């Protein structure tokens, strides 16, 4: 169980999971589980092509094109 990407800059860190769609419960669980296991307070995101957000336990779910076009601003 691995996290797809970890981005860092100075004292900040962001954990990113990327998937096409979260249509099946198994897929949703597979993408959110690794982020739930991280015990720090840094930003945790699941990025998909689903336009309907499915935030869970402090983990934000974002529409991938919005994240890319916004440059990741406003995700904290």
Residue 75 belongs to some domain of the structure: no
Domain residues for the domain of 12 are 5-70
Report the distance separating Cα 11 and Cα 9, nearest Å. 6
Q: What is the mean pLDDT of the chain?
A: 91
36 belongs to a structural domain: yes
Question: Based on the structure, what is the number of domains in the chain?
Answer: 1
pTM to 2 decimals?
0.88
- The long-range contacts involving 20-28, CB below 8 angstroms and separated by at least 24 positions, are 20/48, 20/49, 21/48, 21/49, 21/50, 22/46, 22/48, 22/50, 22/54, 22/61, 23/50, 28/54
Q: Is residue 60 included in any domain, yes or no?
A: yes
Residue 11 included in any domain = yes
pLDDT, tens digit, for every residue of 13-36?
999 999 999 999 999 999 999 999
Asked if residue 76 is part of any domain, the answer here is: no
Ramachandran angles phi, psi of 67, nearest 5°: -60, -45
């Amino acid at each position: 169980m691995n996290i797809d990407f970890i981005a860092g800059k100075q004292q900040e860190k962001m954990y990113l999971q990327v998937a096409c769609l979260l249509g099946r419960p198994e897929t949703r669980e597979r993408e959110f589980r690794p982020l739930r296991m991280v015990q720090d307070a840094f930003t945790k995101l699941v990025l998909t092509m689903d336009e309907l957000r499915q935030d869970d336990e402090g983990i934000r779910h974002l529409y991938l094109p919005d994240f890319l076009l916004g440059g990741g601003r406003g995700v904290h």
